[in-house]
Amino acid sequence: MISDLENIWSRSSRSLKRSVIRELLKLTARPEVISFAGGLPSPDTFPKEDLKQVMMEMMDQESNFVLQYGTTEGDMILRKRLVEKQYRTIEGMDITVDNLVIVTASQQALDLIGKIFIDPGDKIIVGAPSYLGGLSAFRTYGADMVGVELDDEGMDPVKLEQTLAEMKAQGTRPKFMYIIPDFQNPTGITMPEERRIKILEIAKKYDVLILEDSPYREIRFEGQHQKTFFSLDNTGHVITIGTFSKILCPGLRIGWVIADKRIIDKIVMAKQAADLCTSPLTQRIAARFLEKEKMNELLSSTVAMYKEKRDIMIEAFEKHMPEGVSWVKPQGGLFLFLTLPEHMDSETLFMKAIEKNVAYVIGSAFYAKEGGLNKMRINFSYASKEDIREGVRRLAEVIRENM
């Protein structure tokens, strides 16, 4: 090994940090640990037999195509299907295939967007709290992330405008604001349409892009379907990210970005330097699965399963959690956020929870700077119903013993 390796790292690599969640998951790998830590979908939702049939047919009929390199923009069958059946018909978006590029899951989308927009020191707006994977991607490119607090309806528009006004007075403007409007990770909060319209108005007033990340949008248990930021906008102020990871299966590693054609073109160039193309094999698997019209059936069963698990978890909270602990009841998605009394620290509590064979993600991991010490993210999609009941009992015991 060379003598001065530490001196030749790039500036961006020096800012890299291991994912808090990935590191925590190493501690939860023991089979006796009931883990509420990962953002994992239940394997029981994976359409194994349908995908097996699709793969067999595909290898018989188009193996030369799917085993070859593909275009950077993505599989045309998949892109057309997403545009015409999902976004034009269901979401009412005025887009064409030129507005959509396929990426290697939504995490690559976050990385590529960071690559094309962020220079070291650039400011971006994020929720406080916000998705850890987004924060990590933006941090890699040297972003100065400014957190705006959330209330019960998502990002607070008053505080958002105050933040933007202060930046403008200082002669700066954020490159974009990062928002997860549907069943937000980590809080589970859904932003109502009126709030989205207000934030969109603020974005236009200060001429700032909105990056809309919505991986859980289809997993709604109750409440009204809310329009996307992209659907509410007609001026090119919004970039939307989607993925199959939570609604089909994460192993396909397929996501997509919808945006103004100029932004898509820049993402394509950045992606060409990153991986040339997303796997043609997995893209065509997804496309053929969608052609079989199985997605609605799959979503229906997934939503029913996750709703039952959410209800079981909240019932267990109500039964076991000591006074002073509160939580959000999400209308969909995979997560809820638990708030402890202010004097408690979920990071200190974590190892004590591991000793009782239960795990979660510490709240501070979801804040760009400081915050969330007395909070924890809880996943309800992965654990079995029996493990949810027992895991909540163990977690409540740890909290009670340390209050």
Q: Is the pLDDT of residue 30 over 80?
A: no
Task: State residue 38's pLDDT score.
Answer: 86
Query: Do 286 and 301 fall into the same domain?
Result: no
Task: State residue 90's pLDDT score.
Answer: 84
Query: Do 209 and 329 fall into the same domain?
Result: no
Query: Do 66 and 205 fall into the same domain?
Result: yes
Domain that holds residue 35: 5-46+297-401
Q: Is the pLDDT of residue 28 over 80?
A: no
User: What single-letter amino acid sits at 50?
Assistant: D
Q: Which DSSP symbol is given to 199? A: H
- Final residue in a domain of this structure, among 236, 256, 291: 291
Query: Do 165 and 25 fall into the same domain?
Result: no
Query: Do 181 and 213 fall into the same domain?
Result: yes
- Final residue in a domain of this structure, among 291, 311, 345: 291
Q: Is the pLDDT of residue 383 over 90?
A: yes
Strand partners of residue 256: 102, 242
Task: State residue 46's pLDDT score.
Answer: 98
**pTM above threshold 0.85:** yes
> How far is 329 from 327, CA to CA, in rounded Å?
7
CATH number of the domain bearing residue 40: 3.90.1150.10
Mean pLDDT of 30-52: 93
Task: State residue 341's pLDDT score.
Answer: 96
Query: Do 55 and 177 fall into the same domain?
Result: yes
Buried b (16+ CB within 10 A) or exposed e, 331-366: bbbbbbbbbbeeebebeebbeebbebbbbbbbbbbb
What 3-state class would DSSP assign to 231?
helix
Query: Do 19 and 71 fall into the same domain?
Result: no
CATH number of the domain bearing residue 227: 3.40.640.10
User: What single-letter amino acid sits at 131?
Assistant: Y
Overall domain count for the chain:
2
Task: State residue 9's pLDDT score.
Answer: 80
- Final residue in a domain of this structure, among 270, 291, 312: 291
> How far is 351 from 358, CA to CA, in rounded Å?
9
Would you put residue 167 in left (φ > 0), alpha (ψ -120 to 50) or beta? alpha
The distance from CA 156 to its chain's CA centroid, rounded to whole angstroms, is 20
Query: Do 252 and 122 fall into the same domain?
Result: yes
- Omega of the bond prior to 192 within 30 degrees of 0, cis? no
pLDDT in tens, 110-149: 999 999 999 999 999 999 999 999 999 999 999 999 999 9
Mean pLDDT of 18-27: 62
Task: State residue 204's pLDDT score.
Answer: 97
% of the chain beyond a pLDDT of 90: 88
Query: Do 100 and 212 fall into the same domain?
Result: yes
Query: Do 393 and 323 fall into the same domain?
Result: yes
Task: Using alpha carbons, list the distances in angstroms from residue 213 to 1, 303, 343, 370.
Answer: 41, 20, 32, 22
Query: Do 110 and 140 fall into the same domain?
Result: yes
Task: Using alpha carbons, list the distances in angstroms from residue 99 to 92, 200, 215, 236, 246.
Answer: 14, 20, 18, 11, 23
pLDDT in tens, 194-253: 999 999 999 999 999 999 999 999 999 999 999 999 999 988 999 999 999 999 999 999
Query: Do 331 and 182 fall into the same domain?
Result: no
Task: State residue 271's pLDDT score.
Answer: 98
- Total number of residues shown for the chain: 403
pLDDT in tens, 263-307: 999 999 999 999 999 999 999 999 999 999 999 999 999 999 999
CB neighbours of 62 closer than 8 A, spacing ≥ 6?
A: 284
Mean pLDDT of 55-74: 97
What is the rounded average pLDDT for all residues in the chain?
94
